[in-house]
Amino acid sequence: MLRLTVETGQPVRTLDGRAVGDVLDLSVRVGDDHPAVHRLAIGRRRIEHLVAWSEVATFEHSAVQLAITSTGPPLPADRPTPLEADELLLVRDVLDTQIVDVAGQRVQRVGDVLLARTGNGDLEVVAVDVGIGPVARRLGLRRWAEHRGEQAVDWRDLHLTSERGHRIQLAQPASALHRLDDAELAHLMAALSTEHAADVLATVEPARAAAALQASHREVGTRVALALEDDEAAPVLAELRPEQARHVRRLRSDRTVRRRFQRLRGWRRFRPPRARSGAARRREQAFLSEFDEQGLA
């Protein structure tokens, strides 16, 4: 298993030994469960070249060598070839950013990105380490870090909250949020900021969005329903029960209510109950019946 923070920073040379910069970042194209490294970002202090993985001859900790010579065609500059629409830079968009561990339903911060070699010589992202170990190691406390185990979150079970990561994952049909059931979607919304939760709700089909709203704690459901844009809210409200939809419409049209709501309903996350045990399931049922009685507010 390779670690992103160990692999970046190494010098990159051409086949004939000319130094062209350091590995500053690695890019992946999101879509697969474990996406392969797509390009190497090379430069001195800022990214100067984005080189395709197919141009890399060797990628070892001791040496990174490109399969080109200094007399060959020039390296591609980063400006003319910007990132693809579904391309992420692992250092910039993932390392040290927040993620939501969808399976564990926790908000965590990425301490390192774990990569693995595949049989055909590619490098793929398998997980992120959210433990204290990578933080300690990056601070130079290697011996202490060795005693800390990895706390890995599978790449396919995470939702990125960095601006670019969030946008790209919303657009990917295979990303974690699209595989979630209503209750899990409700958990994800409770963990995200209101804006991001509204983005998630606007991305899934209206019937699922309405079901997720109903599975949410009513504080979270109301907050996210209020944050939807008018054109996003209409199809979702159409899927809610008439009395709930009426209630949300009334809240959305009353600015004073919105202000008062945000004043009184902040801070706490109001996670929906977990439906893992029989007792939890019964509590959830009780909660849902309470919801039916009281509506979203």
Residues 148-207 that bind another protein (CB under 8 A): 161-164, 192-196, 198
Q: From the CB of 72, what's the least distance to another protein, in Å?
A: 33
Contacts of 271 (CB under 8 A, 6+ apart): 105, 187, 190, 191, 217
Closest Cα partner for 74 from 132, 14, 27? 14
The least CB distance from residue 25 to another protein, in Å, is: 13
Q: How far is CA 151 from the centre of its chain?
A: 17
What's CA 141's distance to the chain center, in Å? 28
Q: Does 45 bind another protein (CB under 8 A)?
A: no
Interface of this chain with another protein, residues 216 to 235, rule: CB under 8 A: 223, 227
Q: Which is nearer to another protein, 49 or 196 (CB)?
A: 196
Residues 6+ apart with CB under 8 A from 25: 8, 40, 41, 47, 89, 90, 91, 92
Closest to another protein by CB, 66 or 112: 112
Q: Say if residues 220 and 186 touch (Cβ distance below 8 Å).
A: yes
Nearer to another protein, 14 or 162 (CB): 162
How many whole angstroms separate alpha carbon 246 and alpha carbon 239? 12
**111 lies in the binding site for another protein (CB under 8 A):** yes
Q: Can residue 138 be called a binding residue for another protein (CB under 8 A)?
A: yes
260 forms part of the interface with another protein (CB under 8 A): yes
Give the number of other Cβ atoms within 10 Å of residue 255's Cβ: 8
Q: Report the residue from 1, 234, 266, 286 that binds another protein according to the rule CB under 8 A.
A: 266
Concatenate the DSSP letters of all residues of 69-108 into one string: -TTSSPPPBTTTSPPPTTEEEIIIIITT-EEEETTTTEEE
Which residue, 132 or 251, has its beta carbon nearer to another protein?
132
Closer residue to another protein, CB minimum distance, 13 or 134: 134
| Count of residues of this chain found to bind another protein when the rule CB under 8 A is applied | 40
Query: By CB under 8 A, is residue 270 in contact with another protein?
Result: yes
264 binds another protein (CB under 8 A): yes
Is 84 a binder of another protein (CB under 8 A)?
A: no
- Give how far Cα 106 sits from Cα of 100, 175, 183, 203, 272, Å: 6, 17, 15, 21, 13
Q: Least Å distance between CB 214 and another protein?
A: 20
243 binds another protein (CB under 8 A): no
Would you tell me which residues interact with another protein (CB under 8 A)? 92, 96-98, 106-111, 130, 132, 135, 138-139, 161-164, 192-196, 198, 223, 227, 255-256, 259-260, 262-264, 266-271
